[in-house]
Amino acid sequence: MVRILWIEDEGNTDLIQYKQPLVEAGCVVDVAETAAEAFSVLDSMEYDLYIVDLLLPQEDAFEGYIEFPGVEILRKMINEYQIDSGRVMVFTVVNDEEVHKDIYELGIERIVVKRLQHIDFLKKEIDKILQRE
Provide the pLDDT confidence category of residue 76 given band limits of 50, 70 and 90.
very high
Q: Rounded mean pLDDT of 105-133? A: 80
Q: Where are the domains of the chain?
A: 3-131
pLDDT score at 104: 98
**133 vs 7 pLDDT, higher one:** 7
Specify whether domain 3-131 bears CATH 3.30.1120.10: no
**Which of 30, 18, 5 lies closest to 93, judged by CA?**
18
With a cut of 80, say whether residue 115 has pLDDT above it. no
Question: How much is the pTM?
Answer: 0.83
| Number of Cβ within a 10 Å radius of residue 50 | 27
Calpha distance 42→36 (Å, rounded): 10
